Homo-oligomer: A and B are copies of this chain.
Amino acid sequence: MSGMKSVQRAFDVIDVLWKLDGAGPTEIANEMDIPRSTAHVYLQTLESTGYVVSTAGTYKLSHAFLSMGSRIQQRNQIYQVSRRAIPDLAEETGEVVTLVIEEAGEAVFLQRESGEKAIELGLYAGLTLPLYSHAAGKTILSQLPSKRVDEIIDTRGLEPVTTETITDRERLREELETIRSDGYAVDWDQQIEGMGTIAVPIVVDDTVEGSIGIACPTERVKNESYRMELVNKLRETNETITIKYRYGT
């Protein structure tokens, strides 16, 4: 329980504004169990920062989040080198192609592009998931020092997302070993039921910089020849990205 109450509350107000898709002081006050006047001060302050805009008494989150988010995304080196390759691969395969990185022990989707056959699975740029519940995250884990992997599991835990999620520490360790020797990871129904993912780790100078992956319906992933076709395409793209990353833009 570290920190400043007012700042934490300000971000709580932001969460509520998101949840309610815009609200006035009264709604915020009811939702957060604080006086109306207090809610009003928070809203006014947030408006002065530009992260909230008001029209006729109702306050909404502004696009300052999108602005900052885009800039943070664009500043990322691995994004810069792979942002053109991802949509290309999406078009080639027709599936949803993603770029995932690790941040604070979690998997963050830095980019998401969809092809013709793509299904909407609620994957979007900025989405943060556990590392152990999908192929992309696991390829990253497979390339991190085992000391770091333990650290991450210690702080984040291994809570099941679906019935298929790995919850056993030892089984995860074994699977990471398999992924390390295979050079890619595959699984299905572990994060979202009905969704399968395939991924390869982006490794530059023995350091994981992220992972590129494909997400599609479970049935398509289960088809081995199709799966290997995707793996090969991921490997090709991966090589392009790795070289670009190493030897400049």
Known: A7-B42, A10-B10, A62-B104. A68 touches B2 (CB 8 A): no
How long is the Cα–Cα vector from A4 to B5 in the complex, in angstroms? 12
- For A104, what are the chain B residues with a Cβ–Cβ distance below 8 Å? 53, 55, 62
Do B68 and A18 have beta carbons less than 8 Å apart?
Answer: yes
- For A71, what are the chain B residues with a Cβ–Cβ distance below 8 Å? 18, 124, 126
- For A65, what are the chain B residues with a Cβ–Cβ distance below 8 Å? 65, 68-69, 72, 126
- For A14, what are the chain B residues with a Cβ–Cβ distance below 8 Å? 68
Q: Within the complex, which residue of B8, B63, B103 is in contact with A128, where a contact is CB–CB below 8 Å?
A: B63
Do B103 and A53 have beta carbons less than 8 Å apart?
Answer: yes
Q: List 16 A-B contacts (CB under 8 A).
A: A2-B44, A2-B45, A3-B41, A3-B48, A8-B45, A18-B71, A18-B72, A53-B104, A61-B68, A61-B72, A62-B103, A63-B103, A66-B72, A67-B128, A71-B124, A71-B126
- Asked if A230 is an interface residue, CB under 8 A from chain B, the answer is no
- For A51, what are the chain B residues with a Cβ–Cβ distance below 8 Å? 11
Extra 12 A-B pairs, beta carbons < 8 Å, given A4-B41, A65-B68, A70-B125: A4-B10, A6-B6, A8-B45, A10-B10, A11-B49, A14-B68, A18-B72, A21-B75, A63-B73, A67-B69, A69-B126, A70-B126
Do A70 and B6 have beta carbons less than 8 Å apart?
Answer: no
Do A66 and B69 have beta carbons less than 8 Å apart?
Answer: yes
Closest to A113 in B: B87
Query: For chain A residues 1-59, which have a beta carbon within 8 Å of chain B?
Result: 2-4, 6-8, 10-11, 14, 18, 21, 41-42, 44-46, 48-49, 51, 53, 55
- For A103, what are the chain B residues with a Cβ–Cβ distance below 8 Å? 53, 62-63
Do B74 and A124 have beta carbons less than 8 Å apart?
Answer: yes
- Asked if A64 is an interface residue, CB under 8 A from chain B, the answer is yes
- Asked if A110 is an interface residue, CB under 8 A from chain B, the answer is yes
How long is the Cα–Cα vector from A69 to B18 in the complex, in angstroms? 11
Closest to A10 in B: B7
